[in-house]
A and B are shown apart, each in its own frame.
Chain A
Amino acid sequence: MENATINRREFLRGLGIAGAGVLAATSPWLSAFSEVKETAKERCRLGIIGPGSRGQFLMNFIATNPKAEIVAIADIYEPSINAALKIAPDAKVYRDYRQLLADKNVEAVVVATPLNTHYGIVMDAFDAGKHVYCEKTIGYTMEQCYNMYMRHLETGLLFFSGQQRLFDPRYIKAMDMVHKGTFGKVSAVEAYWNRNGDWRREVPSPDLERFINWRLYRESSRGLMSELGCHQLQVGTWALGKLPDRVMGHGGITFWKDGREVHDNVHCIYGYDTGETITYGSVISNKFYGLEEKIMGNLGTVEPENGKYFFEEIAPAPAFLQMLNKWENDLFEELPFAGTSWAPETANVNKGEFLLGERPKADGTSLLTEAFVEAVITGKQPERIAEEGYYASLLCLWGFEAIESGAILPFPEQYKIDYAPYGTKRQDIVS
C-alpha cells in the first residue's frame, strides 16, 4: 500500500529533472499523476481478463494500490484462475469475458490475453462502456489496431497499452536529455533483444500446446516483432520524435526448429526520408549482447536499458599516464617478448555515466498501472499514451509484414492518425 506512494515520490525525485513542465515536454502522459492528492480517497473497480503470467504480474501491483480493487477476473484456464485468486481472493470469477463486461461493478478492464484475442475483447469492452488497459501489442493486424484506437476516440473511454518504458525513470531521463540535444543530432537508434532460450512454456498436456505456447504460432502471434520489438520500436520513435517512412526486414527459424511457426531470428531496418534509421533485431539463440536501445547522437550515446550514457569526447588521460603509457609502448615495441600491457592504456576507456546515479530496479510497470488507476478515477485520458501504444503496435506489425513479404514497405498512410510521436501533430512535422 505505502509502497505505491513511495515509488512515485522516489521516482519523481530520482529523475532529478527540474519541474513538472520539463516532464510534460518529454513524457506528457505523466500528467496522469497530476491529481494524485485529489484522488487520495477514491477507489476504482477493475476486472482482469486473462490473468496469466503477465496478468498476474500486473495484478500484483494493482492489488497493492490502495486506490484500486480487483473486483472480477475472467479466464478460460483453471490454473490461471486459481493463481489469480491468490492475489485477489475476493474477485468474482467469470469463465467468459463477456460476463465480466456485463458486470456493472466493473469500471475498467485490464486485458492480458494472447495477442490474437485482444481485438474482440477490447472492442467488446469499449462497447460495454469499460475503460481499457490492453497489453501490447494491442492488435494482431494494423487494421485491428487502427479500429481499436478509433473506437477509443469515438467512445471517449480510456485506452492504455502495456508500454511500461513510458513510465521507466531511466527512459524518461534519457529522453529528456535526448530531446534537449545533450547528445547532438541523433542519426540512428539500434535496438536489439537477444536471448538464448526456446521461449517455450511447459505444457501439461499436448493438446494445450497451442493454447499455452501461443507465442510460437502464427495464428496467435507475430513472434518476436510483436512480443519484444513492440517495446523497443516505441523507444526509437520516442527518441527521434517522428515516424519512419519505410521498413525492410528479414527473419527465419535458424536454431529452434521444434515445430514453432514464428521466427527465432528477426531483423528490421526502419528508414526515414530525412536519413535517420532505427534498426531492430532479435535473436533467441545467443544472449551475449542482451537487450538495449542505443540512441546514437553525434555528441554521445544513450543506453537507457543499461541506464547509462556516453559522450563521444572524453577528457584525455592525465599527461603523466600518457607519458608512462608511451614509455611502455616504446619499451615493449623493441622487445620481441612483449606481453600483456601493464601501463594504464585503459585510462581512456569511456565508462559512461549513470542516467540516474545508479541502476534502478523497477521497469515502470508499477507506475504504468498506477497511472491507469489514476486515469480511471479521474476519467481523464493522459495525453498521448494511447497514441504511443498505437504506433508502437503499428511499427512492429508493419515490420512483421516487411519480413513476411521481403519487400521494402512504405508507411501505411491509411493507418496514420493525427499524431506523431513526442507530441507533434502530423501536419506539424517538418522534415
Chain B
Amino acid sequence: MLPTEPNDRILYHNRINGNFMKDIIFTVRRQKTELIFLAASFVIANLFNLYAIVEYGSPMKELLTSLLYVLVFTVVIYLLSVVIRLLFYGVRRLFSR
C-alpha cells in the first residue's frame, strides 16, 4: 500500500530511490527552544537599544523607529547563540564518547 501521509511519502520516495539521507527531525520541543532563544535575542537587542537611547540622550520613540536595526541585531544575536550552542554540544559530545 502506498503511504498517504506527506512525510511518509517522502520517506517512501527516498527508500525506493535508494536515497538514504538522514532526515533532520525538528521536534516541537526544539522549535519551542529556538523560539525562546529568538525571543530572548529580541529582548536583548531591545535592551541594547534602550541602553543606547539613554547613553546618547536620544528620544524614546527610537525604541520603535529603530526597530529594523534591532531586528537585524536580533538575528545576529540569535545566530551567535546557535553557533555557541553547536560548539558547546559538539565539544560535550566529543568528550562523552
Contact = CB atoms under 8 A, between A and B. Distances in A.
Nearest to B49: A320
A322 B58 CA distance: 10
Given A323-B55, A323-B56, A318 B48 contact: no
B88 interface: no
A321 interface: yes
B53 interface: yes
Interface stretch (B14-22, B36-44, B65-73): B65-73
A313 to B, nearest CB: 15
Contact of A321 (B51, B55, B69): B69
B34 interface: no
Q: Which of A319, A320, A321, A323 has the most CB of B within 10 A?
A: A320
A316 interface: yes
Contacts of B56: 316, 319, 322-323
B73 to A, nearest CB: 8
A396 to B, nearest CB: 49
Contacts of A321: 66, 69
A319 B62 CA distance: 8
A323 B51 contact: yes
A316 B55 CA distance: 13
A322 B62 CA distance: 12
Nearest to A321: B69
A342 to B, nearest CB: 13
B83 to A, nearest CB: 19
B52 interface: yes
B62 A320 contact: yes
A90 to B, nearest CB: 63
A324 B65 CA distance: 16
A318 B55 contact: no
Contacts of B62: 318-320
**Complex A-B, nearest 6 residue pairs according to Cβ-Cβ distance, in ascending order:** A323-B52, A319-B52, A319-B58, A319-B56, A318-B66, A320-B66
Given A318-B62, A323-B55, 16 more contacts: A318-B69, A319-B49, A319-B52, A319-B53, A319-B58, A319-B66, A320-B52, A320-B53, A320-B66, A321-B66, A322-B56, A322-B58, A323-B48, A323-B51, A323-B52, A323-B56
12 contacts: A316-B56, A318-B58, A318-B62, A319-B52, A319-B56, A319-B62, A319-B66, A320-B48, A320-B62, A321-B69, A322-B52, A323-B48
